[in-house]
Amino acid sequence: MSSLIHRRKTRPVFVGGVQIGGEAPVVVQSMTSSDTRDVRATVEQIRELEEAGCEIVRVAVPDEAAAAAIREIRSLIRIPLIADIHFRHQLALLAMNHGADGIRINPGNISPDGIREIVRMARANGKVIRIGINAGSLEKEIFIRHGGATAEALVESALKNIRLLEEMDFDAIKLSLKSSAVATTIEAYRLAAGKTDYPLHLGVTEAGTLVQAAIKSAIGIGTLLYDGIGDTIRVSVTGHPVQEIGVAYGILRALNIRNVGPDIIACPTCGRCEIDLAKLAQRVEGELKGMKSPLKIALMGCVVNGPGEAAEADIGIAGGRGSGILFKKGKVVRKIREEEFVPVLMAEIAKMAAE
Amino acid sequence: MSSLIHRRKTRPVFVGGVQIGGEAPVVVQSMTSSDTRDVRATVEQIRELEEAGCEIVRVAVPDEAAAAAIREIRSLIRIPLIADIHFRHQLALLAMNHGADGIRINPGNISPDGIREIVRMARANGKVIRIGINAGSLEKEIFIRHGGATAEALVESALKNIRLLEEMDFDAIKLSLKSSAVATTIEAYRLAAGKTDYPLHLGVTEAGTLVQAAIKSAIGIGTLLYDGIGDTIRVSVTGHPVQEIGVAYGILRALNIRNVGPDIIACPTCGRCEIDLAKLAQRVEGELKGMKSPLKIALMGCVVNGPGEAAEADIGIAGGRGSGILFKKGKVVRKIREEEFVPVLMAEIAKMAAE
């Protein structure tokens, strides 16, 4: 954790064996895009997510068959599973019966009575509930009174539903306040952070395909994390969910909150660059896919500036025409030929990662 | 500009005809990766950048031939051109002689006497100078005294060099303080913003390939812009620089600072989704490449939730199996068949963009 970030104190909750809030590290989660009823496809996707570093997974539960599938899915995966419930509270009850570790409800489309039934079962079985406020499906009365899904409206809905759970002596609560508008998202979480100490699940919803989703999520989630707000994060990407994990750890790494996986420092190249640095960077990224060691690896286009500019890197290459320099922590190790760049770098990285 | 962002007041400077700072919109810039001596390749790249929305371009000037090439390049492009100078101040003089609208110097590798010569010519010719502090090439004395390239060290170098220019009655100054460490970058700019009112050029340096560069830049630049800091931005991507412009406008759009180009709101898809939304989103993104109209376009995987969740979108499709719903501002327009999704959407968008 960066010394600059003073993290907001929250009360811890446990989703299966995973702590969220309190002193726990910021937890990375994702959601499957498979049909939950297709157990094989869903388990395959969750295993890919686990491999990439996902720590909690959520699945959609649109009907009884999806709820029932949770039992088998749960037995075949290692990380806790959350059931995502809309409209019908009965599906939450079924999902918990079938082993879901937690429930995400959208109070915009479940009645207070339905929520109370969910709470009763969650309380009896030690399950966690996320109150998942969404700008697109806010309670009508609140939406109208605020003249739209403003940050204040999202927070009012959240606090109202927190009270409903608290009145039943239930406090295994997480909270999210998502909007597809980044500025509204930031403002809503800031307001909520000042009014409640439940752990916050951060995310920008409907963020789009990879690059634009990375931008929106990095600003929305990153700005809040930099202010010490946020206990678990979910990046939304339209596409295979494993992409979400790469973006999530990228955000955490950029702020020194959790350093998982290599940080590749590569110059944008300019008229001084004499090698195809973009190709080199892509090859190195490909070779390092799945590595969890937090090495800083520099790929620089210029022998003169490279080693100095990337002195903070654990290891790096500065490329010139036909040959380059291997350096560690800003110190030149030796000259290497261009065709050796990738194999030499990989061998050195493997050694360093093993240490 | 979002009503939440109170922009820091800076004194305006002019790069060619483009105002930076003061009340001007945040200016988007980039840097060519071509060999500057290759006029044809460089002009081609700059024209692509202009087309994508780049408003100022920088080129590397590693030698006399590159400086001389500026004259022809400048005559063939529409946006102001900055010469990027390291080590030899004479190259800055040459670049200005050949028509560069501004100079970026790195005080870490040019002597104070060299800088004074650059200032004399810039003053006589109405050119702008960016003091481009870089964590990787800080003045040795400052680096050692601070025990590294800390935010304080970057700011000390900046202020020292600002004084050097001010002592010569020169104030057409922009300032940047870049580090490949995002947290250091944010901290350095915040400190500088409290100590000087020159316009700030924001960027995270050596950010890597597209997705990770988007994440680092969005957090670094986005956090600062959200605080009202920043007058011009440059995203660094290892790869073709035109990618930098897409990320830059993505950042500005996410914070409602400048709304240029379509904002695609697309759900991450889940077990409820019955269409290949990722493919649809990619096709729509491809079709809209180059569009400058700031329409919000929603692509949702679910007919039940879609139109409501994306009510803030100007137009959208919510897809079901084999058919979907076209909606505008949350209101259903009509049902359409799946094969009509893209053509119908494009026709409607073209109409709306023309209005």
In the 8-state DSSP scheme, what is residue A25? P
A91-105, A234-248, B273-287: range with lowest mean pLDDT = B273-287
**B4 and A CB contact within 8 Å:** yes
Of B218, B268, B278, the CB nearest to A215: B218
**A43 and B CB contact within 8 Å:** no
Give the dihedral sign, CA B44/B45/B51/B54: negative
Helices (H), chain A: 39-52, 64-76, 89-97, 112-125, 140-146, 151-166, 182-193, 210-226, 242-254, 277-287, 306-309, 341-354
Does B208 contact A281 at a Cβ distance shorter than 8 Å? yes
What does the alpha-carbon distance between residue B176 and residue B111 come to, in Å, rounded to a whole number? 18
Q: A335-344: long-range contacts (C-beta < 8 A, 24 or more apart)?
A: A338/A275, A341/A280, A341/A317, A342/A280, A342/A283, A342/A284, A342/A287
Interface with B, mutate which of A39, A49, A206 (most B CBs under 10 A) = A206
Q: In terms of CA atoms, which chain B residue is nearest residue A283? A: B209
Average pLDDT, chain B: 93
B-proximal residues of A, 61-90, CB under 8 Å: 61-62, 66, 84, 86
Residues of chain B with CATH 3.30.413.10: 263-354
Q: How far out from the chain centre does Cα B101 lie?
A: 18
B19-37 pLDDT tens trace: 999 999 999 999 999 999 9
Q: Whole-model pTM?
A: 0.94
Q: What are the chain B neighbours of A62 within 8 Å (beta carbons)?
A: 271-272
Q: How many CB atoms lie within 10 A of CB B36?
A: 26
**A282 and B CB contact within 8 Å:** yes
Identity at A72, one-letter amino acid code: E
A130-179 pLDDT tens trace: 999 999 889 999 999 999 999 999 999 999 999 999 999 999 999 999 99
Average pLDDT (B183-204) is 97
Average pLDDT (B298-304) is 83
Is pLDDT of B330 > 90?
no
Is pLDDT of A2 > 70?
no
What does the alpha-carbon distance between residue A314 and residue A298 come to, in Å, rounded to a whole number? 8
CA of A132, closest CA in chain B: separation in Å? 13
Is pLDDT of A194 > 60?
yes
Interface with A, mutate which of B29, B30, B270 (most A CBs under 10 A) = B270
Task: Provide the pLDDT for residue B206.
Answer: 87
Interface with B, mutate which of A219, A245, A255 (most B CBs under 10 A) = A219
Average pLDDT (B171-194) is 96
Average pLDDT (B164-182) is 96
Q: What are the chain A neighbours of B136 within 8 Å (beta carbons)?
A: 305, 308-312
Task: Provide the pLDDT for residue A283.
Answer: 93
**B220 and A CB contact within 8 Å:** yes
In CATH, what is the architecture of A13-254? Alpha-Beta Barrel (3.20)
Of A59, A254, A282, the CB nearest to B271: A59
Q: Which residue has the higher pLDDT, A274 or B129?
A: B129
In the 8-state DSSP scheme, what is residue A107? T
Q: Which residue has the higher pLDDT, A353 or B224?
A: B224
Task: Provide the pLDDT for residue A88.
Answer: 96
In the 8-state DSSP scheme, what is residue B338? G
CA of B240, closest CA in chain A: separation in Å? 8
**B1 band by pLDDT with thresholds 50, 70 and 90:** very low
**Token pair 């670094």 in the structure block, residue:** B220
Q: Domain A263-354 belongs to what topology?
A: Sulfite Reductase Hemoprotein; domain 1 (3.30.413)
- Per DSSP, what are the bridge partners of residue A83? A59, A103
B34-48 pLDDT tens trace: 999 999 999 999 999
What does the alpha-carbon distance between residue A311 and residue B168 come to, in Å, rounded to a whole number? 34
Among B73, B128, B65, which residue's Cα sits nearest to residue B91? B65
Is pLDDT of B216 > 70?
yes
Task: Provide the pLDDT for residue A3.
Answer: 56
Among A94, A85, A93, A89, which residue's Cα sits nearest to residue A65? A94
Task: Provide the pLDDT for residue B137.
Answer: 86
Q: In terms of CA atoms, which chain B residue is nearest residue A210? A: B211
What does the alpha-carbon distance between residue A124 and residue B208 come to, in Å, rounded to a whole number? 49
**B106 and A CB contact within 8 Å:** no
Contact A302, A318 (CB under 8 A): yes
Does B36 contact A216 at a Cβ distance shorter than 8 Å? no
**A129 and B CB contact within 8 Å:** no
Alpha-carbon Rg for chain B, nearest whole angstrom, is 23
Task: Tell me the CA end-to-end span of chain B in Å, nearest whole number.
Answer: 22
Task: Provide the pLDDT for residue A1.
Answer: 41
Residues of chain A with CATH 3.20.20.20: 13-254
* Residue B232: partners with Cβ closer than 8 Å, 6 or more residues away: B20, B26, B27, B28, B29, B56, B174, B199, B200, B201, B202
**A288 and B CB contact within 8 Å:** no
Q: Three-state SS for B183?
A: helix
Q: Buried b / exposed e across B113-128, counting CB within 10 Å, b at 16+?
A: ebbeebbebbbeeebb
**What number of C-beta contacts closer than 8 Å exist between A and B?**
250
Contact A183, A147 (CB under 8 A): no
CA of B169, closest CA in chain A: separation in Å? 31
CA of B2, closest CA in chain A: separation in Å? 8
Q: What are the chain B neighbours of A137 within 8 Å (beta carbons)?
A: 305, 308-309
